[in-house]
Amino acid sequence: LGEQKKKFMPYNHQHKYFFIIGPPALVPLYFQWYIFYFVVQRKQWV
């Protein structure tokens, strides 16, 4: 019944496609952390 829906995601295969979707989703988080690290390192807020 669920497979007949248009927006069906195969959750039984999510361990296979996580490595395709996961890293690009974490890139903005990495850049946010790197900007914070750069500001703290250079003491730019003073």
Q: Which residues contact 38 (CB under 8 A, 6 or more apart)?
A: 44
Task: Please say whether the beta carbons of 45 and 39 come within 8 A.
Answer: yes
Asked whether the whole model's pTM tops 0.75, one would answer: no
- Regarding predicted confidence, which is higher, 6 or 18? 18
Look at residue 13 in the predicted model and tell me its pLDDT.
83
Q: Is the pLDDT of residue 29 over 70?
A: yes
Number of residues written out for the chain: 46
Q: What is the pLDDT of residue 34?
A: 92
Domain ranges of the chain: 2-42
Q: In the prediction, which pLDDT does 32 show?
A: 92
Looking at every residue in the chain, the average pLDDT score rounds to 80
Helix (H, G, I), strand (E, B) or coil at 29: helix
Between residues 6 and 16, the one the model is more confident about: 16
- Does residue 8 contact residue 2 with C-beta atoms inside 8 Å? yes
